[in-house]
Chain A
Amino acid sequence: GESVGLHLPTLSVQEGDNSIINCAYSNSASDYFIWYKQESGKGPQFIIDIRSNMDKRQGQRVTVLLNKTVKHLSLQIAATQPGDSAVYFCAENIEANNLFFGTGTRLTVIP
């Protein structure tokens, strides 16, 4: 089946800098995307979502960009903080009631 992939498995940024985490998807029928954050030893937590009829959505310190032409999704984190260190997953809703997750990107914030 179709799968969600990530360009970079690891990302290190200086505290205070902006972070950009990328995600490529291959199913053009996907119409809903979600970003999750997973801290060590915990379950994933919802960050932000976006539907395919949008190309940008903003939350608190986070922005998700969707480029349907190249099937690319990105998560931007402004003024990255140590508490942002985690693994970030993108997920797509291809089929009704199923979310498919990517393999994740580990973000490390350097103080």
Chain B
Amino acid sequence: NAGVTQTPKFQVLKTGQSMTLQCAQDMNHEYMSWYRQDPGMGLRLIHYSVGAGITDQGEVPNGYNVSRSTTEDFPLRLLSAAPSQTSVYFCASSYSVTGLDNTGELFFGEGSRLTVL
């Protein structure tokens, strides 16, 4: 299985440009999420989805949009990139993160490193 696939792995943008980070999973997971990772701050949740057609905000949603038209895909859109969005972005999927019915293990992609100039 490919697991969670993110593209692109690296991207450089100019301030004000828009772009979409792609995420796809082949494990039939209902739950998908986007995190950003900054030095010394761990991973912070941007947006998440508990199934197709359902999305919700995480801890740091401003400046990002998401949609979930299929179970497999969960793209993250930067509407107008800012230098503060320079970060490493991780997409993750899971059966559940509550651990109630199964392990709450999140399966992470390899990350997308974004630099905004």
Contacts and interface: CB of A to CB of B under 8 A. Distances in A.
A and B from one assembly? yes
Interface of A: 1, 4, 32, 34, 36, 41-46, 49, 51, 89, 91, 93, 96-104
Interface stretch (B13-21, B76-84, B100-108): B100-108
Max chain A C-beta neighbours (<10 A), residue from B4, B31, B45: B45
B108 A43 contact: yes
30 contacts: A1-B59, A32-B97, A32-B98, A32-B99, A34-B99, A34-B105, A41-B110, A43-B90, A44-B43, A44-B108, A46-B103, A46-B107, A49-B99, A49-B103, A49-B105, A91-B43, A93-B98, A93-B99, A97-B48, A97-B50, A97-B96, A98-B45, A98-B58, A99-B33, A99-B97, A101-B35, A101-B43, A103-B40, A103-B42, A104-B42
Contact of B59 (A32, A97, A100): A100
A91 B44 CA distance: 11
A4 to B, nearest CB: 8
B93 to A, nearest CB: 11
A21 to B, nearest CB: 14
A36 B37 CA distance: 14
Interface in B54-109: 56, 58-59, 90, 92, 96-99, 103-109
B6 to A, nearest CB: 9
